[in-house]
Structure 1
Amino acid sequence: MKSTSLGDLAQSFMLQRRSVALRQDLTRLTDELSSGKVADVRQVLSGNHNYLTGLERSLEVLQGYSVATTEAEYLTGAMQDSLERVQDSGSQLGIDLLLASGGPLGVVSGNQAENAMSQLEGIINALNDDIAGRSLFAGTATDGAPLPDAQTLVGLVRTAIAGQPTPADALAAAETWFNNPAGFDALAYSGSTTALAPFALSDTERVSLDIRADNDALKDLLKHVTVAALGDDPALGFDVEEQAELYGLTGIGLQSNQDQLTSLRASIGFVQERIEMIAARNQAEETSMEFARNALLAADPFETATELESVQFHLQSLYSVTVRSSQLNLVNFL
């Protein structure tokens, strides 16, 4: 009977090849055990990548929506904060002007025209706010402030109402100027009349933020504050009693304006609520898809650990055989 044996060189090559294969398996199983995912995706999917590709594409789309959602949340939050400052300024000034007009509590001390000018500067600064260089209340003209500084606005209104015989006439002339397209909209407002494009937060959900500094509620606020700032201006020529009357009219107007501002802020609050709901739904969908992808590509930790232990045992056995084979020689055999 013939026996077949391997030469020393062939046997060395065979042991090396087996060693390389075992070490590759060891590396693969170690990676799978540490990452929890299979290394050979093609084998797991049997060559059909359609389902996995669809999941990964959907996850990428949802991540894009997540960026848009974060931007929308940031923008609406900044707008809400700015309008809160505007409303608080208008409310406090309205109370001060009503007290200055004379009433049950008497006339308050201090120059109410200066007070109104100070509040006007704060209101304009709030409406000219921007985030990351993007103006909040200028529509699509996000590269610049929508309103001029307080001194410029006061100068424009002074020209429009100068020479009016009574405080009521002065306030009416100011209202005409603010409502006239050739007045405030053309001379003071430098933003765009086009609203920002809606934010796409999902395949079917869009939210719009059409609040600009030329909004009627904001123009009404600016009108009363600006006229109050001109209360003691020589161009109007009002005496103390007429100034008190003017402060009373503008104070009542500012208090009446509070409902409009509240409605404006409520509309932003509604948008914020929608954004939160859409964000939560997108997050739930993203979590579900990630779970499906992980389940598809997950490596069984128990099976992987068992196979890893088996490979380690075979590799150690191979090393032992290799060492013993290298120690064989004719002298030891004889």
Structure 2
Amino acid sequence: MHLLDLDVLRREDVEKILEYAEYFKKNRYNHEKILKDKSIAIIFEKPSTRTRMSFDIAVHELGGHSLIMNQNEIHLGKKESIKDTARVMSRYVDAIVARVYEHKTLEDLAKYGTVPVINALSNLAHPCQILADLLTIKEYKKSFKGKKIAYLGDGNNVCNSLILGSALVGMDMVVATPRGYEPNALNVLKALEIIDEYGEGSLKLTNDPIEAAEDADILYTDVWISMGDEKNLEHVMKIFPPFQINEKLLEYAKDDVIVMHCLPANRGMEITDEVIDGEHSVVYDEAENRLHAQKAIFKFIFEKSSSDIR
């Protein structure tokens, strides 16, 4: 089984992953070593702090061996085709975790390899981050039912996966972006299909940040400028400021609202210091939960892969 985005999961799958994550968090140094005698390749075309640390430590604490390679240490799609890389790596390792520029790179690794592929970030999706986010929301809000989550800013990879995750757990989500910066249309369609299937939750797109923040239980934002896209900074700074999460915007949300950001944050741009360091912020719990969610992902995927073989 591969995890390229959350649309491959069902609600019961998400519930199981969160159950595993809660167990691993409660028993961090006293749990089964499910990766014993397993090696995991972790590829980074893009640099990382939380993703690298959380995956490396997760593999170690699960009893496995991680082999980390950055873009200068692997010929992925350059001197060697992705097809050949996937086939060769599948002979060495038990799973591939990859943080890449193009989502198609992950699709090709999954297509040509014979081991599970986990998306640690692509231009389209960031499923591992969202599973950690759902764990954080569950910790603070206890239940997803009837909760409103508002995402403000750029309809980027985090937003694309968040709309799927929110739909899978039945939350009501409002996405507020400037015109032309809406989330991926196919992900929106998939989320609406999930909502229709389960008969719970909702999804709305708007260009009004106040409408999104009104009575929200969760406010979520991410950077306005993705890595490698800095050339658009001047244009972005003209149209994105109304979508900043600041103390004024907080006044529209519920009194017990939690504020989330997947980090790293451009303080003073998409979120102010007062908010990210304030009483409503849960960003550091959110970051910690990457570790526990990653362990849960490994457990779930290897269980599913084993059952598929049988």
Query: How does the TM-score come out when normalised to structure 1?
Result: 0.25
> Whose RCO is larger (CA < 8 A, sep 6+)?
1
Larger radius of gyration: 1
Greater fraction of residues in strand: 2
